[in-house]
Amino acid sequence: MLTFKFQRNWDVDIAPTPFNENSYGHVGVHPNVIDSSYYGFENPNPAVAYSLSCAANCNAIGDLGGGIKVGTWTLKPGTSMSFNYFYGINNARQDSDTLTAQMFLADSDYNILSQSMDGGQYPLHGANSTAIGFNSAVPEPASWALMIVGFGMVGAAARRRQFAISA
């Protein structure tokens, strides 16, 4: 059996105000996110707590970035699991709220965003923005297959019972 935590940190320098970004996280908790940070140079060891936590919301200015720490998960022998980290960069003339919406449409359900400071601090918008996001563990294909077979068996049993009652 293997128990683990996983984290991803990133540093971004966003034009036209590199080394002076506005990083922020939206209010809310996620069942699989242990902590998040608005600083891209956090300790890379997942066992060490973030020093600049964004778990209870944040809105900071500086040479920042983001980080998301997930887990603790336990894998048993012969099993697997998956989860995804997302990275996003806005298109021209898009604000960070539009980027957030795109991240959620891509199934990212926890995001930390950074934007340029030319437009001011969030909720004002800069010209450019980036995001790091995370989504929950996705069941492995064998789990999906078992679930589908189970639904089929329940349906067949119900149909067989209905046929026996009507006969």
Residue with tokens 């189970």: 150
Determine if the pTM surpasses 0.85: no
Partners of 116 in beta bridges: 21
Position 71 pLDDT exceeds 70: yes
Cα 30 → chain centroid: 9
Partners of 110 in beta bridges: 134
Rounded distance, CA 90 to CA 121, Å? 17
* Residue 30 neighbours by CB distance under 10 Å: 15
Which pLDDT score, from 0 to 100, does residue 9 have?
92
Which letter does DSSP use for residue 101 in this model?
Answer: H
Phi and psi dihedrals of 117, rounded to 5? -95, 5
Burial class (CB in 10 A: 0-12, 13-18, 19+), 1: exposed
pLDDT per residue as tens digits for the range 20-35: 999 998 666 788 888 8
pLDDT band at 139 (very low <50, low <70, confident <90, very high): low
Beta strands in 21-109 (DSSP E): 21-25, 33-37, 58-62, 65-75, 82-89
Position 47 pLDDT exceeds 60: yes
Q: How many percent of the chain have pLDDT more than 90?
A: 20
Rounded distance, CA 38 to CA 56, Å? 11
Rounded distance, CA 9 to CA 28, Å? 20
Q: Which two tokens stand for residue 135?
A: 């989504």
Counted residue by residue, the chain has a size of 167
